[in-house]
Copies of this chain bind each other. A is one copy, B any other.
Amino acid sequence: MAELTLDPDNTALLITDPQVDFLKPESVVWDKVGETVEENAVVEKVVRLRDAASESGVPVFYSPHVYEDAEYEEWEHLNEIDRIMFDARMFDATGDGADIIPELAPDDNTFVLSPHKQLSGFWSNDVQIQLRQRGIDTLVLAGMSANLCVESHLRDAVENGFEVLTVTDATAAAGREALEAALTNFGFIAHETAETEAVVSRLQGSAQMASNIE
Contact = CB atoms under 8 A, between A and B. Distances in A.
A118 B158 contact: yes
A184 B189 CA distance: 17
Contact of A129 (B81, B111, B118): B118
B80 A147 contact: no
B74 A134 contact: yes
B126 A159 contact: no
Contact of A115 (B79, B81, B114): B114
A185 B189 contact: no
Interface string A50-93: 00000000000000000000110011111111000000000000
B81 A188 contact: yes
Q: How large is the interface on A (under 10, 10 to 19, 20 to 34, 35 or more residues)?
A: 35 or more
A120 B190 contact: no
Nearest to A68: B111
A1 B181 contact: no
A128 interface: yes
Give the number of copies in the complex: 4
Nearest to A59: B74
Interface in A92-123: 111, 114-120, 123
Contact of A79 (B123, B181, B191): B191
Nearest to A4: B77
A130 interface: yes
30 contacts: A1-B80, A74-B133, A76-B134, A76-B135, A77-B132, A77-B133, A78-B191, A79-B189, A80-B187, A81-B189, A114-B114, A114-B115, A114-B125, A114-B126, A117-B126, A117-B129, A119-B155, A120-B155, A123-B159, A124-B159, A129-B159, A129-B161, A132-B161, A147-B181, A147-B184, A156-B156, A177-B184, A178-B188, A180-B180, A181-B182
Interface of A: 1, 70-71, 74-81, 111, 114-120, 123-126, 128-135, 137, 147-148, 151-152, 155-156, 158-164, 174, 177-178, 180-182, 184-185, 187-191
